Amino acid sequence: MIPVTRPYLPSKRKLKKYIDRIYKTGWLTNNGPLVQELENRLQEYLGVRNVVLVANGSLALQVAYKALDLQGEVITTPFSFAATSSTLVWEGLQPVFADIDPETFNLNPDNIEPLVTENTSAILPVHVYGNPCEVERIREIADRHNLKVIYDAAHAFGVQYKGSSVLNRGDISTLSFHATKVFHTVEGGAIITADDALAQRVRKLINFGIYGPDRIDGVGTNAKMNEFEAAMGLCVLDDMPKILDARRKIWEVYERELSGRYQLMRWNRHATRNYAYAPIVTDAENHLTDLLHRFHQKKIFPRRYFYPSLDTVAEYSMEPDILCAQARSLAARVMCLPIYAGIRLSEQKKILAETEMNP
């Protein structure tokens, strides 16, 4: 079987050394030494000012909304994983969907401003598959209307934009460290901000609003990362050069063999890649489903990611009759091919052999 992804597992020997440290200190959670070490190392690796580790990527988004005191409506993309919209609804916010650019797959800035109302408090774009959005244009729109910008950067770990981390853009960027991501901590996530006061507010929010041993300074939740997850993250971070090199080689084969036969994402020309995903787009949905059927017969399991377009989900959409045509079209025709460190060349050739049968 060839899955769409397979979590990277670092050296058991190295992981055991970190776990031995946990057993020695007896410190399992509540901002332990390994969490602090991982935050510091990630700040240096990513080139960002503040990294606040949390239990998962969804909580990262939810805490970000609270930290920025969002209210009412939030303009976002319908072409994303469910968490982008479901976290908004969970927090009592209303997603307002703006259609995407069919070539970059990201939220199209041209479609944002017409949707701004007196109830809009923020813009929530997604760096889809790690491909940076048009961050300058989004910032200009936000500044004109006094809106906050939160980037769902779940896929953009390590991506550089114009020479610095794309995570430095917006008021807050959030990351997911789920086991399937390029960098993972089994479960986990992070909140990134250049604003020190905002980072301090985030730290209180993830620990019930507790400011000190005998002081509660507002309402919060429990969103803390534990020491065992941080141990995994420290091991994986050591191996990032090897992981990225393996993924790059796999992606370059896909790009070489599939260009011209399938639509591929147009990557931001100012940005580096992290090779997180390998999306391809067919010319029609029935061709996609035929291709999936052939893959499954060969025990190859790509994924329709993202499907469906979130503006079609009644629980999320304020006005389901408003058509995000580009997002719906893309969601019906896109799939992500298997990509992970450890795919053998023979397996990739097997995958490519099935794509050659594209009608």
State the catalytic residues: 181
| Beta strands in 67-147, from DSSP E residues, in sequence order | 73-76, 94-97, 120-124
Contact between 153 and 167 (Cβ < 8 Å): yes
Asked whether the bond before 7 is cis by omega within 30 degrees of 0, the reply is no
Side chain identity at residue 136, one-letter code: E
Give whole-number Cα distances, 254 to 249, 331, 337, 349, in Å: 9, 20, 9, 10
Contact between 67 and 198 (Cβ < 8 Å): yes
At residue 85's C-alpha, the angle toward residues 291 and 223, to 5°, is: 115
Helix (H) or strand (E) holding 244: helix 240-258
- Closest by alpha carbon to 254, among 144, 139, 352, 153? 352
CA–CA separation, 358 and 354 (whole Å): 8
Which single residue is written with the structure tokens 């109302």? 117
CA–CA separation, 107 and 89 (whole Å): 19
**DSSP percent split of the chain into helix, strand, coil, nearest 5:** 40, 20, 40
Asked whether the bond before 306 is cis by omega within 30 degrees of 0, the reply is yes
- Closest by alpha carbon to 152, among 186, 129, 180? 129
Contact between 95 and 86 (Cβ < 8 Å): no
| Residues in Cβ contact with 80 at an 8 Å cutoff, skipping those fewer than 6 apart | 126, 128, 152, 306, 310
